[in-house]
């Protein structure tokens, strides 16, 4: 697969997980919204400066966004790793609540 497309997928995932719209990110970067859309679609290359700023905005590693040292991008694995990074930022109390919720959801799946 094209590396620009892989980077675009990660950019979109990171933006969505950060709860930001393309317009909001465009404003933060000082570009037009279609620029963000083109980056996420893999139709526009992302400069090193843009990638660094996007990593800061999304609170992710630049190497992860750049798909550094990876042959294939596994979207499910990316989502799980992204979730794990977010979980590591939670308070112990909130993490316990989330684990209880996950346990409940698993039990409901087992019963159906």
Look at the chain and count its residues. Answer: 112
Q: What are the pLDDT digits (tens) for 21-78?
A: 999 999 999 999 999 999 999 999 999 999 999 999 998 889 888 887 665 667 788 7
Residue with the bigger pLDDT between 84 and 30: it is: 30
Domain ranges of the chain: 3-73
CA gap 111, 79 in Å, rounded: 26
Pick the CATH number of 3-73 from 1.10.8.620, 1.10.260.40, 3.20.20.410, 3.40.190.170: 1.10.260.40
Instruction: Say what the pTM is.
Output: 0.69
Handedness of CA 78, 53, 6, 69 (dihedral sign): negative
**8-state DSSP, 69:** T
């Amino acid at each position: 697969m094209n590396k620009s497309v892989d980077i675009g997928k990660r950019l979109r995932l990171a933006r969505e997980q950060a709860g930001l719209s393309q317009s909001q990110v465009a404003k933060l970067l000082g570009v037009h919204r279609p620029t963000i859309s083109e980056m996420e679609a893999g139709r526009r290359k992302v400069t090193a400066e843009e990638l660094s700023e996007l990593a800061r905005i999304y609170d992710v590693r630049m190497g992860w966004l750049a798909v550094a040292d990876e042959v294939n991008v596994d979207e499910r694995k990316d989502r799980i790793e992204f979730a794990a990074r977010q979980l590591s930022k939670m308070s112990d109390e909130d993490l316990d609540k989330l684990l209880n919720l996950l346990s409940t959801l698993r039990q409901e799946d087992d019963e159906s």
